[in-house]
Structure 1
Amino acid sequence: MLYRRFGRTELQIPVFSCGGMRYQHKWQDIPLQDVPDENQQNLEATIKRSLALGINHIETARGYGSSEMQLGQVLPKFDRSQLIIQTKVAPKDDPKEFRRQFNQSLHFLNLDYVDLLGIHGINTEELLEQTVRPGGCLDEVRKLQKAGKVRFVGFSTHGTPEVITKTIETDQFDYVNLHWYYINQANWSAIEAANRHDMGVFIISPSDKGGQLYKPPQKLVELCQPLSPMVFNDLFCLSHPQVHTLSLGASNPSDFDEHLKVLSLIEKADQILPPILERLEKTAIEQLGENWYQTWHFGLPRAEETPNNINIPVILWLQNLARSYDLIDYAKMRYNLLGKAGHWFPGEKAENVESLNLKDCLKNSPHAAKIPSLLAEAHQAFNGEAVKRLSQQ
């Protein structure tokens, strides 16, 4: 396994982390006796394989249902000093409730302390304020640190680059969990800000949110040759030393196998990646046109600035991916999450967009004339049964 310095924590973190949101039995707290033996055995086998590979960073959250409780049956079997354990707790208006939930996490994990505690979901300025205000959640974390229950504090986010950067600039956090991968590079400025503050950088869900790469379309498979799309995406991320670790979200012991192929390639990334990147860009330009490819995102309004809160940037982005790389299933999955995920994935679908006047909100876009029809096309192509976030299921 390869390790990187995780910012000012000085932890040597593996370039892959074992994310804990997919191997648990339920997305709700349940009694331990309700966990089937087969599921618990699979979880334990997954953790054992992770640690055998040198992936000693295990990441979970209070919001991941039975994950913490099930891990708590496994973690005490290993040398605690060799583990890097992260859990996450969502910010609360009442800091006492935040502390109560953290204590529940620690109890379920069967640990005396966690190495990394993430404030889970600083996605808006309101949630940032809730966290850092005097007497807020961060003050509770400082008490936990003094008590020896938390070593380092970070935050996870699905927010905009502006919100993420504003949170980083408080200089109150040791690391950040965010989204960044080939098909979505919007948060690069936030990663640069994290590096300026010597923070650890953890990439959330590069294989799932990064394009459902465990079941890639044939077109993407061909474009990424000689690598699989999953290995290409891993290599793309890890070729940037500003990135420290990628979450794998393993659900069984074999889920590590494909990712491991990248380890021997990282030092040769500058030779391997350019022809793949060139093919991907050329294909997108052929499908979308160079002007649209270069400028489609200019001057687009935020969802809250748009009639009916339509999330125009996300919808056009999904349409681009579907047209360029046949990421149609991915586009449908993400599109049908709109309107159902709150601040985790804000905004609404382009339903009845033909009846809306978008002229004012698109006044700064060079493509204002054609965007309404593109939104209508996207809605027709992607709309289907509503999708819930995993934690809502």
Structure 2
Amino acid sequence: MRAVNGLEQMRAVLSAALACGINHLETAPAYGPAEGFLGEALRLLAVPRPALVITSKLLPGVPLEQGQLQLRDCLARLGVKRLDNLAVHGLNLPEHLGWALGGEGSELLRWALGEGLVGQVGFSSHGDNDLIEAALASGRFGFCSLHLHLFDPQRLPLAQAALAAGLGVLAISPADKGGRLYDPPAELVGDCQPHHPLELAYRFLLAQGISSLSLGAAAPGDLDWAKRLAGAIEPLGASERAALEQLERRAAERLGAERCGQCRACLPCPNEVPIPELLRLRNLALGHGMGAFARERYNLIGRAGHWWETLNASACQRCGDCLPRCPHGLAIPDLLADTHARLVEAPRRRLWG
């Protein structure tokens, strides 16, 4: 999705990926020209089709005939007769799940499988845990792509349940969405010693059994850690466990009694403020010096539709409903106000949309 500046960029990234043992390529029509560039690069490099696992995605909600046309266009751009994996791209709302299970989406997925155009169907989701759990429990999907990050592990139980049930699990962007770990602040580098933050994040997920990590490479150098960690799926070693403990300890020291434990007991908020997610960003900004990442994510709120939160901390009405439910006795309205003051800034343009 990031090698979109021209065919030569995509060709260089793809060549580097293949050289370090990567065989799973994931793209989507929604990623601008990426899918077309990928298809051209595959032809130029003459990559044998059996050597690859290819995934593409279709946005939910399209009518059956339109979805059929979109899938055929995907295949044509990629220059293949069959996708290994077809995902519902952004199963983020209950109506998206309804479309996939009982509407025209269900017909589309059944048709794609029946025609032999795809090997299996799955979904990516930026939705809440209840929605993801319902999708996994439906029995309709063979794989899922979820936000699973060292600094946001709340969906790991869902991922592990999916793995135990035989589904494939892909972690969405652990380098970028996981905290801009390719460009870590000095505090975070120190907290993760003797490991690089991105190395530790990748190893954390691999050791949890996550079967695929999406890397979002824009240049061959973005794959350096993938090359170094090829095959590194063994349990965490002593130095890695010590680094994770150090990471936790230093954040606790910096945040003190204001650290949000992410237990989610404060929910539901009468004003639908996503309290845990907002205080997670505050934890990262103050606990690990990850202010740039926290501000970037905070200022996407309300600007990304169903792909991200819609309300920021300014929506708190100080009703106090959350206060007696917090097991840590946090002054949540005050912390939300502080979060807004620290993180709000002029919004930036999204990569997509």
TM interval, shorter chain, is over 0.9
1:12-91 alignment, distance < 5 Å: 21-25=1-5, 39-76=6-43, 77-91=46-60
Q: Which amino acid aligns with 2:86?
A: L
1:272-291: CA deviation from partner (whole Å, max 9, x where unpaired): 321101101111221233x6
Q: Residue 72 of structure 1 aligns to a residue in which SS? A: helix
- Which of 344, 348, 354 is the matching residue for 2:311? 348
- Which of 155, 165, 180 is the matching residue for 1:187? 155
Percent identity of the aligned residues? 34
Q: Cα distance, 1:298 vs. partner?
A: 3.7
Q: Does 1:324 align with 2:287?
A: yes
Correspondence for 2:196: 228
Q: Does 1:121 align with 2:90?
A: yes
Q: Cα distance, 1:293 vs. partner?
A: 4.5
Supply the distance in 1 between the matched residues of 2:199 and 2:106 (Cα, whole angstroms): 37
Distance change in 2, residues 1:114/1:298 (3 Å)? closer
Q: CA RMSD in A?
A: 2.0
Q: Which amino acid aligns with 2:61?
A: K
- Which of 227, 230, 234 is the matching residue for 1:263? 230
1:1-393 alignment, distance < 5 Å: 21-25=1-5, 39-76=6-43, 77-133=46-102, 135-241=103-209, 243-263=210-230, 266-267=233-234, 269-289=236-256, 293=259, 295=261, 297-302=263-268, 305-307=269-271, 309-351=272-314, 353=316, 356-360=317-321, 364-366=325-327, 370-392=331-353
1:256-276: CA deviation from partner (whole Å, max 9, x where unpaired): 113322337543623232110
TM-score (norm 2): 0.93
Distance change in 2, residues 1:98/1:387 (3 Å)? farther
Q: Cα distance, 1:388 vs. partner?
A: 4.2
Determine if contact 2:147/2:155 at 8 Å carries over to the other structure.
yes
Supply the distance in 1 between the matched residues of 2:244 and 2:351 (Cα, whole angstroms): 31
1:159-188: CA deviation from partner (whole Å, max 9, x where unpaired): 112111110000111101001121000101
TM-score (norm 1): 0.84
Gaps of 5+ in 2: none
1:7-65: CA deviation from partner (whole Å, max 9, x where unpaired): xxxxxxxxxxxxxx10013xxxxxxxxxxxxx211211211121122211111011101
Supply the distance in 1 between the matched residues of 2:274 and 2:264 (Cα, whole angstroms): 14
Q: Residue 275 of structure 1 aligns to a residue in which SS? A: helix
Gaps of 5+ in 1: 1-20, 26-38
